[in-house]
A and B are shown apart, each in its own frame.
Chain A
Amino acid sequence: MDLTETEDEKSFRAEARQWLQANVPATPLPSFDTAEGFELHRQWEGLLFEAGWSAVSWPVEYGGRGADYLKWLIFEEEYWRSGAPGRVSQNGIFLLGPTIIEVGTEAQKARYLPAMASSREIWAQAWSEPDAGSDLASIRSKGRLSDDGTEWILDGQKTWASRAAWADWCFGIFRTDPESIRHRGLTFILIPLDTPGITVRPIAQLDGDAGFAEIFFDDVHVPVANTLGEPGKGWNVAMAAAGFERGVSLRSPARFNVAVDRLIELWKQVGDLDDDTMRDAVTDLWMQAEGYKLHTAMTVTKLLEGGHIGSESSLNKIFWSEMDVRAHELALQLLGPGAERTDGPYESWVDGFLFSLSGPIYAGTNEIQRNIIADRVLNLPRA
């Protein structure tokens, strides 16, 4: 065990910090769930890419920096401490990208990864359906091969597709074997959102912005070359991605450490410093964020030493999402009636509170995560 940073890690941190200080926009960008904000975030992603910071853990040949996950954690710390914009490219760079690197063909890597790293192409996730939410395996959207076998023809409906209102591509799971049930017979397919037959209908979220959308597929033709992994094995491909997403990359610890630091500042500014209950609550939050950082560092070390992330990634997802809600609830408690105003000095806390509430729901509800932990970590009998 050695928790000190190596010289190499220190200079990596210094380099990241220097670049971010020089380049992070002075004023916050508008929400990426608006048309204007989306494009401004795309430009920011382009700037990150040019400097080699958009996908630090990817191989250099695909637009990454070739950094190991420990350096990725360092970059994330510097990124969120610098106040840099949220990542509109999240679905691609942190979820689909690592999956393509793991299971994609060389041609697919060359085709998709550089455009993803530069945010020339921004990706939406198209997994859930109106009748396939927590029960994702009950997917009904269909894909069938064209007569000449060169194209998938897609029909059906996806929903809660994050970033789909303005994204360029989506990655979805389709039932390509009509005889199949549940997890079998599904195929993971990459689809340009401007393909004829696709209709995207944005959905306003709790904050009023179109953070997700419905996607309708009506006789949509895409090349079979857009299949990621083997046809019929889409569930495994999706779950490989989901494990990585929940386990490491979806929410790096740094953003919570930064949020808790802000919470401590807020407590110092507006809190009743004689209120020991609040003092204890803020302290507990600090310990949670610190604990999450340590847990992630341990997971990443395990990966670097040749281990795998298993179902324990579900523990992470519950932990960070509950912690995030708690931090924002405390902030709102500190702000009192002042937190009702959405365009004032505390706008970011109100926005953050609304956003935090999505955490226990998306990427598999926390109840589903508890089932996964019980079944696969605690080895309890399946229901």
Chain B
Amino acid sequence: MQFSFSSDQRDFAASLREMLTNEFTTKQLREIWDTGTGHDPALWARLSDMGVLSMMLPETDAGMGADFTDVILLLEELGRAAVPGPVFETMTVGALALHGTSFATGIADGSVAVTAALLGEANVPHAGMSDVVLLRDGDCVSAVERSALQLTSVCGLDGGRSLSTILRPTGLGTIVAIEWSEAIDAGALGAAAYLLGVSSRMLEIAGDYARERRQFGQPIGAFQAVKHLMADALLKVEFARPAIARAAWSMAVGDDDRSRDVSMAKVLVADAAVKAARSALQVHGAIGYTWECDLQLFMKKAWALIPAWGTTTFHRRRVSDAVLGVRV
């Protein structure tokens, strides 16, 4: 047994972090928020150039043929930077659903973005800028081109995630080669890994503030009440991390318990994200409650993703059905 990431996997994540740190600052993220599109075409092209978007496509579709263990650290980095647009959706469930179709090479070259609404969501994220929307069709998944859907833009919490209501004409779309439950697993794990990155970043921002901000003649981070608040949040984040890694392994090998493992990962990281957001806000005090403070960019991403791809109740029930037996 070897429960660690390879040096290649870690190196790729490190280079992605370096690119995002240099080329995608919170100032740029705010500019995307201001456009109202929830999308950064230049960054999307950059991620495509780096080969990030096509990781999970087979080589026959100009992809890397990678599995979830190869992308999990990348997804975390994307979350750490709150990269806008349907990035984890396209990379994970998008690639797994659309490989071998006419859309696949477009995912690889950055010309096709994929989003999904597989749980009956009233507000579909990223639909306005995506080319394909994955929708539920019984136990199957249907790929529908955006142009075939009637979209109505609505307002959302997170400026990196445009929202629309959609009207779906019946009989449209193509059934793709992924079962609905497998698509849920893939998307939920993508969301979980991204959310881990968002959560870590919130604690980093809070830590920076706690070192700088002085009250009663000392940095507030020296106060035990602040230390313990942050330590408890870190505890949840760090215990979600191995659960996400294990779920990646289970998905990669098609383990019988993969749905349980993905759901466990999502429950733990959602819980960690709730705690990290609350703690980071509390450490900041009033400045954290402002539009000006960068923390909001990440809190809002967290609050959007905590219930996305299955609420905590949904995922906890999936775990309990697997562990305790199906509820009668």
Contacts and interface: CB of A to CB of B under 8 A. Distances in A.
B289 interface: no
A273 B325 CA distance: 11
A84 interface: no
A374 interface: yes
Interface in B143-187: none
A165 to B, nearest CB: 34
B96 to A, nearest CB: 19
B314 to A, nearest CB: 12
A381 B1 contact: no
Given A283-B323, A301-B2, A373 B231 contact: yes
Contacts of A380: 207, 210-211, 219, 221-222, 226-227, 230
Given A291-B243, A371-B224, A297 B1 contact: yes
Contacts of B241: 295, 298
B316 A381 contact: no
Contact of A374 (B227, B239, B324): B227
Contacts of B69: 1
Interface stretch (B3-11, B83-91, B122-130, B290-298): B3-11
A183 interface: no
Contacts of A383: 222-224
Nearest to A288: B239
Contacts of A315: 234-235, 238-239
A219 B284 CA distance: 55
A239 interface: no
Interface residues of B, number: 46
A382 B222 contact: yes
Contacts of B246: 3, 294
Given A294-B246, A319-B239, A380-B222, A1 B2 contact: yes
B221 A287 contact: no
B323 A286 contact: yes
A318 B221 CA distance: 20
Contact of A367 (B221, B222, B228): B228
Interface string B236-267: 00111111011011001000000000001001
Given A283-B323, A287-B268, A383-B223, A294 B242 contact: yes
B319 A286 contact: yes
B235 to A, nearest CB: 5
Given A280-B320, A283-B316, A315-B234, A297 B242 contact: yes
Nearest to B232: A370
Contact of A1 (B6, B218, B228, B243): B6
10 contacts: A3-B2, A264-B323, A273-B328, A279-B327, A287-B243, A294-B242, A298-B242, A301-B1, A318-B231, A374-B227
Interface of B: 1-6, 69, 203, 207, 210-211, 218-219, 221-224, 226-228, 230-232, 234-235, 238-243, 245-246, 248-249, 252, 264, 267-268, 316, 319-320, 323-324, 327-328
8 residue pairs, one from A and one from B, having the closest CB atoms: A374-B227, A380-B221, A294-B242, A283-B320, A370-B231, A373-B231, A381-B222, A301-B3
